[in-house]
Amino acid sequence: MQNHYHFTAGPTGTWRITSINAVQGSGLESAAALDITELSSTSPLPEPVWMLRGMVSNVRYATRPELTDMRAKQEWLGRPNARRAALIPIKKSAAWWDLAQDERRAIFEETSHHTAIGMEYLPAVARKLFHSRDLGEPFDFLTWFEFAADDAAAFEHMVGRLRATREWTYVEREVDIRLER
Ligand code: HEM
């Protein structure tokens, strides 16, 4: 399947896991390393410690001007100096999914300023969003970020600001996994 990724935690992998922190709800078992593979290219380890799946999908909330601004400012994954990463799987509550699309957008941006906050940290932080909800996964989203060690404090600051928003009152499970390579 195209655009379909496996996040596989196990004894070996490209990224060394430095911490796994349960922010909300239950956490994930500790493991030494993580690999991200496209489903079509390689099969995952036979017995991973855990494996999460996600796919790249269309945007839901960003407006044309937001997308244009973001694309002008954002950096790509895989920058040689971006040796730190965060994988933050998130599950939102039934109350969130019961809202209408326009209500979710209003909470996401007009109230919580998710994109506006995040944009302040571009291009230092490179990001990619994977959707998991429709795959029947334990999380709705897998969020992935890469940054240089020098930008780790700024990343921490951003995550703190986002977790204090109204949007995050709808987050019922969140695990914060930090990595290095
Ligand atoms: C690097 C700065 C960031 C920027 C520029 C950014 C931007 C965005 C944008 C534009 C979307 C909406 C995509 C759409 O229209 O469907 C989005 C979704 C999302 N972001 Fe961020 N974000 C950033 C950081 C973060 C962080 C640090 C987290 C987690 C701690 C996060 C978690 C999410 C989640 C879970 C969604 C999906 C929300 C949903 O569909 O309900 N983002 N982000």
- On whether the CB atoms of residues 9 and 31 are closer than 8 A, the answer is yes
Residue 91 to residue 131: CA distance in whole angstroms:
10
The reported pLDDT for the residue numbered 99 is: 98
The number of the ligand 1 atom at minimal distance from the alpha carbon of 158 is 27
- On whether the CB atoms of residues 89 and 174 are closer than 8 A, the answer is yes
Residue tagged 């490209």 (tokens) = 14
Give 19-74 as a DSSP string.
Answer: EEEEEES------SEEEEEETTT-PPPSS-SEEEEEE----SS--HHHHHHHHHH-
Average confidence (pLDDT) per 10 residues, the chain, 181 residues = 89 97 98 90 74 97 98 97 98 98 98 98 98 98 98 98 98 98 97
* Total residues found in the chain within this entry: 181
The reported pLDDT for the residue numbered 39 is: 76
Domains in the chain, start-ordered, CATH in brackets?
Answer: 4-180 (3.30.70.3420)
Tell whether ligand 1 has an atom less than 6 A from the beta carbon of residue 99. Answer: no
Task: Tell me how far the alpha carbon of residue 108 lies from the centroid of ligand 1, in angstroms.
Answer: 9
The reported pLDDT for the residue numbered 47 is: 80
Mutate to test the pocket of ligand 1, among 127, 147, 167 (most ligand atoms within 8 A of CB): 127
CA distances, 90 to each of 45, 54, 83, 141 (Å): 23, 12, 23, 5
Q: Of all helices (H) and strands (E), which one includes residue 171?
A: strand 171-180
